[in-house]
């Protein structure tokens, strides 16, 4: 009886020891992993993907954040709800007050901003385009050549920002406008009112549009400020935020 009792005790002790030593390394690894995870998450931001994430941006006027161009024409039934900004010139009513505030702020500093083009209907855009084509044809270009030449300077209906009611041309349709005090003022302050110089001189290859120092586009204060600070075009900014389209 006594021998059997001792045997049972020894066997139990052996089993307990075995269980302890076989499970201990597992526990240790689990604990190490846990510690590692904790220390990593405490010190290093975990990057799980290299894909650009669509950021949640708390921007003003998010409705105005879109591109109008040859590649991204407005839908044919696009409707603008206009408000007068100067004489018969109109803008989208939501952008109009930003323009009027900008005009007033400029005036307070002795700068006159005069609208020379604003919202255009598709019909009017077509007239402008046809007129440009005719002038090239009168110089001896074929229909096709004149069409291509006109496209360099005038957008087709739906492809102009003026059709969206978000663009204004100011003061002068001459490149020398860039020398004016008004241009300097706009370069410093337009973004504060949600406007950007849409077709900069050194970005013709990206915008596909000739340099237009007079053309300003409403996009909201947040995005306009970002674009100005980064020194990029709307196209580049759009790609930066949403990824290549």
Q: Where do contacts with Zn ion occur on this chain (CB under 5 A)? A: 169, 215
What DSSP element (H or E) covers 32?
Answer: helix 2-43
Nearest residue to 103 (alpha-carbon basis) of 227, 91, 125, 161: 91
| Helix-then-strand count for the chain, H and E | 8, 6
**Three-state secondary-structure class, residue 65:** coil
CA angle 155, 73, 233 (to 5 degrees): 80
φ/ψ of 101, rounded to 5, equals -65, -40
Q: How far is the CB of 115 from Zn ion (least distance, A)?
A: 11
Active site residue 212: yes
Q: How far is the CB of 86 from Zn ion (least distance, A)?
A: 15
What DSSP element (H or E) covers 96?
Answer: helix 93-108
Residue owning tokens 């300003």: 216
Question: Dihedral sign, CA of 160, 172, 177, 153?
Answer: positive
Residue 195 or 238: the one with the smaller Cβ distance to Zn ion is 195
**Three-state secondary-structure class, residue 91:** strand
Residue 34 or 131: the one with the smaller Cβ distance to Zn ion is 131
Q: What share of the chain is helix, strand, coil (3-state, %, to 5)?
A: 55, 10, 35
Q: How far is the CB of 91 from Zn ion (least distance, A)?
A: 12
Catalytic pick from 32, 212, 229, 240? 212
Q: Which two tokens stand for residue 206?
A: 């990206």
Residue 19 or 102: the one with the smaller Cβ distance to Zn ion is 102
Contact status, residue 167 vs residue 195, Cβ threshold 8 Å = no
Q: Which two tokens stand for residue 31?
A: 């604990």
- Residues tagged active-site: 212
């Amino acid at each position: 009886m006594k021998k059997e009792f001792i045997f049972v005790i020894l066997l139990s002790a052996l089993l307990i020891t075995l269980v302890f030593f076989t499970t201990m390394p597992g526990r240790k690894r689990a604990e190490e992993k846990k510690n590692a995870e904790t220390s990593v998450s405490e010190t290093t931001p975990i990057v799980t993907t290299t894909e650009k994430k669509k950021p949640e941006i708390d921007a003003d006027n998010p409705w105005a954040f879109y591109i109008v161009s040859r590649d991204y024409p407005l839908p044919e039934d696009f409707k603008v709800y206009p408000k007068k900004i100067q004489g018969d010139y109109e803008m989208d009513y939501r952008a109009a007050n930003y323009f009027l505030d900008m005009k007033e702020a400029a005036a307070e500093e002795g700068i006159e901003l005069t609208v020379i083009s604003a919202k255009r209907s598709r019909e009017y855009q077509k007239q402008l385009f046809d007129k440009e084509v005719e002038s090239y044809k009168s110089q001896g270009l074929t229909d096709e050549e004149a069409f291509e030449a006109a496209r360099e300077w005038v957008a087709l209906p739906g492809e102009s920002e003026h059709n969206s009611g978000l663009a204004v041309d100011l003061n002068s349709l001459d490149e020398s406008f860039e020398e004016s005090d008004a241009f300097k003022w706009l370069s410093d302050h337009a973004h504060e009112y949600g406007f950007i110089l849409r077709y900069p001189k050194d970005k013709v290859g990206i915008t596909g549009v000739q340099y237009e120092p007079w053309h300003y586009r409403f996009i909201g204060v947040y995005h306009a400020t970002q674009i100005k600070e980064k020194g990029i075009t709307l196209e580049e900014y759009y790609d930066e935020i949403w990824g290549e389209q």
